[in-house]
Amino acid sequence: MDSAGYTAETLMQTMRWLMRVPETMAQAKQQVKEATEAEMLEFAAGYQGKEVVCG
């Protein structure tokens, strides 16, 4: 999904989904800037991430 898929309606749905949000979005850029190594979870070998709840 590209950034057009990120609307207020889709982000507020009560479902769990996993995707990488483009860092051109202000909120994503701020999350990446503030993330620490300790907060990251390893999803698979070489892939780390952090759960963020929007709302």
pLDDT for position 31: 85
* Mean pLDDT value across residues 11-25: 69
pLDDT digits (tens, 9 = 90+) for 30-47: 888 898 989 998 888 888
| Between residues 31 and 24, the one the model is more confident about | 31
CA distance 47 to 26: 23
Q: What share of the chain is helix, strand, coil (3-state, %, to 5)?
A: 35, 15, 55
Say which residues have a Cβ less than 8 Å from residue 24's Cβ, sequence separation at least 6.
3
Query: Mean pLDDT throughout 2-26?
Result: 70
Q: Are 12 and 55 in contact (CB under 8 A)?
A: yes
Lowest-confidence segment of 6-10, 13-17, 26-30, 46-50 by average pLDDT: 13-17
